[in-house]
Amino acid sequence: MRRRRSESDDSLELLLDPICNMFGTIMFVALIAALLVLTKSGAAVDEAVSAAERRIEARSSQLEARAAELERMLGALPAGEGRELDAAAAERMERALGEIARRQELIDRYAETVKKTRASIGEAATQIEPMQEELQRIREAVEAAQRAKDRKVRTPMEREVGLFEYTIVLWQDRLYAVCDLSTRPRDACEWLRSWNDRHVIASRCTTPNFECSRVKIHIARSIVLREGAGIPIGDAAALARNPDFIALLGALDPSEDLIGLVVAPDSFDSFAAVKQAFLSKGFTYSVEPCEQRLPLYKDAWIPGHPRGL
C-alpha cells in the first residue's frame, strides 16, 4: 500500500517556496543593475573621446593660425645685407671651391700631357715606316692564307723522279738543311756528306757506311743537328723573305733536286708553310715523319729512284 506523507514535509515545502522566489528576485535586480552600469560606462567613454577630439582640433587650429602669422611676419622682413652664411651655405661654398681647385689641377695635367705629346711627334714620325712594313707583312700573310684557303684540295700523286733527294729536317718549328750544295763536288755521292755547318755540327756528323759505285750503293749517315740554329719557319710569306732561306734556294735547282722533308712531331703545323714556300719556287718534294730522338738524326741510302709529290 502506498505510504502517506507527514505534515512536517508539507511545512518544509511551504518554507522553500518563498526562499526560492526571493533568490530569483535578487538575481533579477543584480542583472538589471549590471546592465545599467554597462550602459552608463559606454556613454561616459564616448563623451570623453568626443571631448579629447574637440581639444585636439582646437589645438591644431591654434597652431595653424600661429604658423600662418609667423610666415606673414617672415615675408614682411627686409632682406638683410652682409648677413653671415649659415653652416649649410658655408659647406656648399667650400665644396664648390674644392671642385674648382680639382678642375684646375686636371687642366694643368692635360696641358702637360699635350706638351709631352707635341714633343714626341717627331719620334712618332720615325716609327711610321717600320709600322708600314709590318702592315705590309701582315697583308702578305693574309693573302697567302687566303690563297691556301681557296686552293682546290687534291690528293697528291707520288711518282718516281730522276732527281737528287736533298734532306731537310723540320724540328722545333725550324728548318735544318743537312748539306751545303752551294759548291757541289764532282762525285754526286759526296753531296750526301757535304755538311752544312750552319745547321749541323759537322765534327760530329759521320758516315759509318759509305759504299758508292756504279755496282753498289750503301751509305749510312749519322747527323747531329745544331739545336736552335735552323731557319725559323713562321708562315710561308715570312719564310720566303728570310735571307737564309733565299740563300738556300739559290744553292738548289728545281730541275735537279728533290726536297726531302723529314718532319718531327712538334713541327707538323709548320710543314704546310715550308711545302708552300718550295712549291711556289717549282720544287718537287717528298715527306716522311721523323720518330727519332733529335738532334741526332740517322738515315740510309740504297740504289733506286726517289719518289716525289
Top-ranked range on mean pLDDT: pick from 7-11, 126-130, 155-159, 211-215? 211-215
Cell of 296: 741526332
Q: What CA–CA distance (Å, rounded) separates 143 from 258?
A: 27
Which residues on adjacent β-strands are paired with residue 289? 263
For residue 79, pLDDT beyond 60: no
pLDDT for 73? 72
End of a domain among 118, 153, 188?
153
Selected residue with higher pLDDT from 246 and 14? 246
Residues 200 and 296 in one domain: yes
pLDDT for 259? 93
Q: What is the percent of the chain where pLDDT is above 70? A: 61
End of a domain among 153, 183, 208?
153
Sort 250 into a burial class: Cβ within 10 Å, 0-12 / 13-18 / 19+.
exposed
Mean pLDDT within 225-252: 92
Residues 183 and 291 in one domain: yes
In the chain, where does DSSP find H-type helix? 7-76, 87-119, 121-126, 128-150, 236-241, 243-250, 268-279
Structural domain span for residue 192 = 161-308
Residues 181 and 278 in one domain: yes
Q: What is the pTM of this model?
A: 0.51
Mean pLDDT within 284-301: 91
pLDDT for 47? 66
For residue 186, pLDDT beyond 50: yes
pLDDT for 133? 75
Q: Are strands 231-232 and 257-263 parallel, antiparallel or unpaired?
A: unpaired
In 3D, which of 239, 125, 244, 238 has the Cα closest to residue 177?
244
pLDDT for 302? 83
**Under 8 Å between Cβ of 227 and 204:** no
pLDDT for 2? 39
Residue that is written with C-alpha cell 740504289 in the block? 303
For residue 263, pLDDT beyond 60: yes
Q: Does some domain include residue 8?
A: no
**Under 8 Å between Cβ of 213 and 236:** no
Selected residue with higher pLDDT from 109 and 282? 282
pLDDT for 168? 95
Residues 222 and 291 in one domain: yes
Q: What CA–CA distance (Å, rounded) separates 130 from 141?
A: 17
Provide the pLDDT confidence category of residue 5 given band limits of 50, 70 and 90: very low
Please tell me the least confidently modeled range out of 21-30, 77-86, 190-199: 77-86
Residues 149 and 209 in one domain: no
Please tell me the least confidently modeled range out of 27-36, 73-82, 90-99, 236-245: 73-82
Name 189's Cβ contacts closer than 8 Å, sequence gap at least 6. 210, 212, 217, 219
For residue 15, pLDDT beyond 60: no
Q: What is the pLDDT of residues 163-177, one digit of tens each?
A: 899 999 999 999 999
Element (H, E) at 257: strand 257-263
Beta-carbon count within 10 A of 92 CB: 11
Residues 165 and 290 in one domain: yes
Q: What CA–CA distance (Å, rounded) separates 174 from 225?
A: 11
Number of domains in the chain: 2
Provide the pLDDT confidence category of residue 82 given band limits of 50, 70 and 90: very low
Q: What CA–CA distance (Å, rounded) separates 202 from 146?
A: 40
Q: Does some domain include residue 27?
A: no
Residues 269 and 212 in one domain: yes
**Under 8 Å between Cβ of 178 and 167:** yes
Mean pLDDT within 217-234: 92
Q: What are the phi and psi torsion angles at 70 (to 5°)?
A: -65, -40
**Under 8 Å between Cβ of 257 and 164:** yes
Cα 99 from chain centroid (whole Å): 38
Q: Does some domain include residue 6?
A: no
Q: Does some domain include residue 52?
A: no
